[in-house]
Structure 1
Amino acid sequence: MTANQASSAPRTAALFPGQGVQRQAMGAPWSATPAWGLVEEVSQAAGLDVARLLLEADAAELARTDRAQLAVFTASLLAWRTLEQADGSAPAARAHAGHSLGEYTALVAAGALSVHDGARLVAARGRAMARAARSRPGAMAAVTAGRDMAEALVAEVRVHRPALWLANFNGPRQTVVAGSPEAVEALVRRAEDVGVACTRLAVSAACHTPLMEPAAEELAQALESVEFAPRHAPVVANVDAAVHTHGADWPGLCLAQLTGPVHWNGVLGTLRDTAGCTRLLDVGPGRTMAGLARRTVPELPVQRADQLLPSPA
């Protein structure tokens, strides 16, 4: 490849989804591929039969926070590993980012964490969040409006229902709120009153809010027990939408992400403006990352990983 060809080649950012994209038998396309070997590695690290989760678990089990996070993490890694083994047919990533749980997948893909340590963290995080949700039940809803409108609705509801926060800034027309079930229900009703579309999410936790604080100690202990690489490929973090290449940054960032909002619109902007990415690649189950990218940075082409490879099924 000449220097001119290299400079004009697309600069790819790999995007990894979070909890919510799980579906039954989502590992089936990869079960007969060389990539499937990592499932045993994840299972050993997590102390759980992840192959059964990916192939046999029903919708009720996959709705559990601890099970869903581990299943999505592994399915996304299967897609990523298959790309890595594709004999040059897949582009190398210039930068990485993941939405919520997907940030842990991005850290593995970027070389900041081993598969083993990534799986240990995801398993610990999922267990801790599930316990926190049982002690402090929560709910979430997606507001089809920009940040200003969502903030106004939250401020109005918090006068009487203070346990309510902005949890995800997903794009110019999607903001997710989270809090106590009563507060989220009040916000949904108020949004309907003023003609703003609002959709309840199928979760029983108030992710990325202070209601997750009971999970912080367990996650902090898990973070102390793993090893982050001193330097790694660029990853844009959820909590500050900044590029990070030093492993020492991540214990603090991961803890902040647990109880703080995901600035996904900012992440996509940083991938474009700071990391210089000219193409986005949605790696993992579902089409959520591609959809958010097309609405937030429509000038960047988006591909799904399965569009780059023949079906492994």
Structure 2
Amino acid sequence: MGFGGINTHVVLDEPATRRRAPGRGRGAALAHSLQDAELLLLDAESPRELRARITEVADFVEQVSYGQVSDLAATLQRELRGLPHRAAVIVSSPEDAERRLRHLAGLLETGESEHTAADGRSHLGKATGRGRIGFLFPGQGSGQGTGGGALRRRFPEAAEVFDRAGLPTSGDMVATDVAQPRIATGSAAGLRVLDSLRLEASVAVGHSLGELSALHWAGAIDEKTLLEAARVRGRAMAEHADCGTMASPAAAPERAEQLIEGLPVVIAGYNGPEQTVVAGPVDAIEEVQRRAGRAELGCTRLAVSHAFHSPL
């Protein structure tokens, strides 16, 4: 019955599905691009509480899909409370997340509250004050290709650096005349991205070639000079240095000296209290690896084309 006694008819129908307009701008582009890894962060008042929290997340991550790992990372970040005992893992899949989290939980159960994995993708620690950021730039032996990966896909700043560098897309990526400009380009691209995100460091250092990237960060040389210096340096080493290789025993320098005794091998770098780098002829480095194996010590062969930082 219509108003005033006049009959009327109204046709009711379901409204057309309203589609959310696609997001615009950089945020949407980042959200829809491929993600190679996620950072999971947790904190707690005590090691015991942190272990319980890590175990809880490890149990949950078994149920999530690959695409939900980014949602989990965002949720955990929002739940941080600034508590002193902290854990962090960089993960590439739900399975990877579960494995790394359970490893940290196991360490806490044994009473170990400070730990950094050899690959840098897992960390336990206690905050004792306001932290500072430092950049460590890699030298040769780092990375695998010239494509730029997710960094190039997600950030136009990084893509611009790689586009200008004109790196080869095939061939021997370990050869020093390719590796040096490849690694320097990656460092320059990473700096561009960090700058766009307003992440600033208090100090920067570099492993060998990485010193050039640290100088660029400090403003001593510009980006163009960095990339050109890496190209010239790589070409000169390829033309004038003898071949060889390098390895990194998981041992203190004194123990490394024992491993290389009687061999034409030298200590090329002191990376840490339990990580030393050695360099020499290929057959001699292989013998160092065998000796390390017999001593039940880890010894990683570096992906390099020469015995850098040695008489070769």
- TM normalised by structure 1 equals 0.53
Residue 308 of structure 2: which of 191, 198, 207 is its match?
A: 207
Distance between the aligned counterparts of 2:141 and 2:202, measured in 1? 26
State yes or no: 1:18 paired with 2:123: no
Bigger radius of gyration: 2
Q: 1:22 to 1:69 in 2, by over 3 A?
A: same
Report deviation, 1:100. Answer: 1.8
CA RMSD of aligned residues (A): 2.2
Report deviation, 1:27. Answer: 4.5
Aligned residues: 182
Distance between the aligned counterparts of 1:36 and 1:190, measured in 2? 44
Tell me what 2:291 maps to. 190
Tell me what 2:243 maps to. 137
- TM normalised by structure 2 equals 0.53
More helix by share: 1
Tell me what 1:36 maps to. 159
Report deviation, 1:116. Answer: 1.6
Give the match's secondary structure for 1:210: coil
State yes or no: 1:106 paired with 2:227: no
Tell me what 2:262 maps to. 157
State yes or no: 1:116 paired with 2:260: no
The one-letter amino acid of 2:262's match is: V
Unaligned runs of 5+ in 1: 1-7, 44-48, 212-313
Report deviation, 1:96. Answer: 0.7
Q: Deviations over 1:225-272 (max 9, x none)?
A: xxxxxxxxxxxxxxxxxxxxxxxxxxxxxxxxxxxxxxxxxxxxxxxx
Distance between the aligned counterparts of 1:34 and 1:195, measured in 2? 45
The structure showing larger relative contact order (alpha-carbon pairs under 8 Å, at least 6 residues apart) is 1
Contact 1:27 1:75 in 2 (8 A): no
The one-letter amino acid of 2:311's match is: P
Percent identity among equivalent residues? 39
Write out the 4+ residue segments of structure 1 that deviate beyond 6 Å after TM superposition: none
Q: What are the within-5 Å matches in structure 2 for residues 36-185 of structure 1? A: 36-39=159-162, 41=164, 43=165, 49-50=166-167, 53=168, 57-58=169-170, 60-86=171-197, 88=198, 90=199, 92-133=200-241, 136-154=242-260, 156-158=261-263, 163-185=264-286
Q: 1:177 to 1:27 in 2, by over 3 A?
A: same
Contact 1:69 1:126 in 2 (8 A): yes
Q: Deviations over 1:39-87 (max 9, x none)?
A: 455x3xxxxx23xx4xxx24x432221112211111121111122123x
Contact 1:18 1:100 in 2 (8 A): yes
The one-letter amino acid of 2:256's match is: A
Give the match's secondary structure for 1:14: strand
